[in-house]
Amino acid sequence: MLTLKQIRDDRAFALERLAVKGVDAAAALDRIEQLDDSRKALQAKLDANLAQQNANAKEIGQLFKAGKQAEAAAAKEKTAALKEVSKQLEEKLKQTEGELNEIIVTLPNFPHSSVPQGKTAADNVIVRTGGETPELGAGALPHWELASKYDIIDFELGVKLTGAGFPVYKGQGAALQRALIAFFLDNNTSAGYTEVMPPLMVNEASGFGTGQLPDKEGQMYHATVDNFYLIPTAEVPVTNIYRDVIINESDFPIKLTAYTPCFRREAGSYGKDVRGLNRLHQFDKVEIVQIAHPETSYEALEGMVKHVESIVQKLELPYRILRLCGGDMSFTSALTFDFEVFSAAQQRWLEVSSVSNFESFQANRLKLRYRDANKKTRLAHTLNGSSLALPRIVAALLENNQTPEGIRIPKALVPYTRFEMIK
C-alpha cells in the first residue's frame, strides 16, 4: 500500500508513475487529498475538544473543593456537551479514515524508474538469454503426449478426481516432482535461505498484507465457512510471518524459502496455450523471500535474479530473462524480472519464475518495520521470487530431453531422481 507521503509529496510524480502501470489516478488523488485534509481538520477539532474536556475536569474538581456546587454542576453540563461533540467527531473521523484507506488500497505500487513503458507482454524487454535450444527430430512430442506415452502424468484421472487443471503424477513422474522440489530447496538453503514449511491456507489479514486481497480475490480459492483462502503462492504465508513485527537493523537480510502446493482458479483460461502443464489450478512451487534494508533491496533483487538463473543453468534449459513493462507488472511490484524457458516441442517460451522487489508497498500493509540506529522505526522492503515453479519446468525438461531411448534427466538432477532416463 502506498503511503500518504508518497501520494501527497509530489502529485505530478505519483500520476506519472501510476500511468506507467496504465492507471489514470487523477480522480483518486483528488479524493485522497480532500479526505486527508478533512481527516486533519477533524483530528484538530477532536484534539482541541479533548483538551477542553481535560481542562474542564480539572476545573470541576477545583470548584467542588471550593464548595461552588452550582458552578461545578454547570461545568459538568458543558463537559457532557463536549463529550457528545467528541463522540460525533470520532465517528466522522473513523468514517473519513475508512474511506481514505479504501481508495488508497486500490492504487498499485509505483513502478521503479527502470521499468519500461508498455501495456502487454509484447512490450517486455529481454535482459539476457542463456542455454542452447535443442534440435528435436521429426515426430517430437509435446509434454502432454510424452506424459501419456511414458505413463508419468495422468491428466484425465485428475479430471475424474477433481477437475481440469489437477493432474495426477505417477511413477517416475511423481519421482521427478519430488526430486525437483528437493533440488530447488537444497540450492536455496545453500545460498543462505532458511527453509520454512507454512500453512496452505491463510486468513484475510494475510491476503491483504501481501496484496492478494482485494486485488486478486476472484483468483483465490475461498473456504467461506472459516473465511480462509488457499494460498496462490508461498509468498503469502512466508512474508506474513513478519506482519506486525519490528525487526532490528542488524537482522537484515532475512532470507526464507518454502515449498508449497499453490492453488489458483485461473478463471477464463482456455485454449492451446493452457494444455497439459502449461496452466494448472494446483501446482508445486518453491519460493524465496527476502526482507531487506531499503538501501540494499535492489542489490538483493540482483542477487535473487542471479541465484534463480544459476538453478535454470544447472537444469540445462534454454532461458531468457525479461524486465517487465508497466502494463504487465503485478499490482504490488516495483520491479519484476520474469524467467522463461524454451519449450522445443511447442516452439514457445514458458514463464517459470518472477522475481520482484515490492519496496515498502507490502511492508506498509503488513506494518513490517525495522528499528534504525537512531531507534526510529521505518518500513522495510520485501522481495520474492519463484525458485522455481515446477509445471512448466517439467514441461520443458520432458520436451527438450526426449530421445528415441527415453527422456534424459539433466546431470545435476540425477542424484535426486536416482535414475538417468525416463523409460
Is 33 annotated for ligand binding? no
Is 352 annotated for ligand binding? yes
Task: Give the closest residue to 334 by CA, choosing from 6, 21, 105, 7.
Answer: 21
* Start-to-end CA span in the chain (Å): 51
* Element counts in the chain: helices (H) and strands (E): 13, 19
- Residue 31, all three cell numbers: 479524493
Q: Where are the alpha helices (DSSP H) in 203-343?
A: 204-209, 235-239, 297-314
- Residue 400, all three cell numbers: 527438450
Is 365 annotated for ligand binding? no
Residues 6+ apart with CB under 8 A from 356: 301, 330, 332, 333, 334, 335, 336, 337, 383, 384, 385
Is 354 annotated for ligand binding? yes
Is 250 annotated for ligand binding? no
Strands 381-389 and 348-357: antiparallel
Measure the CA–CA gap between 132 and 124, rounded to whole angstroms. Answer: 22
Assign residue 278 a region: left if phi > 0, alpha if psi is -120 to 50, beta otherwise? Answer: alpha
Measure the CA–CA gap between 109 and 101, rounded to whole angstroms. Answer: 15
Q: Is the dihedral of CA 360, 363, 367, 373 positive or negative?
A: negative
Is 316 annotated for ligand binding? no
Task: Give the closest residue to 288 by CA, choosing from 235, 218, 251, 331.
Answer: 235
- Across-strand partners of 261? 284
Measure the CA–CA gap between 357 and 336, rounded to whole angstroms. Answer: 7
Q: What is the SS3 assignment for 348?
A: strand
Task: Give the closest residue to 294 by CA, choosing from 421, 383, 222, 229.
Answer: 383
Contact yes or no for 397/177 (Cβ under 8 A): no
Q: In what order do the strands lie in the sheet with 246-248?
A: 246-248, 369-371, 377-379
Is 206 annotated for ligand binding? no
Is 399 annotated for ligand binding? no
Is 265 annotated for ligand binding? yes
Is 133 annotated for ligand binding? no
CA–chain centroid gap for 385, Å, is: 9
Known binding-site residue numbers for ATP: 264-266, 351-354
Q: Which residues are annotated as a binding site for L-serine?
A: 233, 264, 287, 384
Residue list for the binding site: 233, 264-266, 287, 351-354, 384
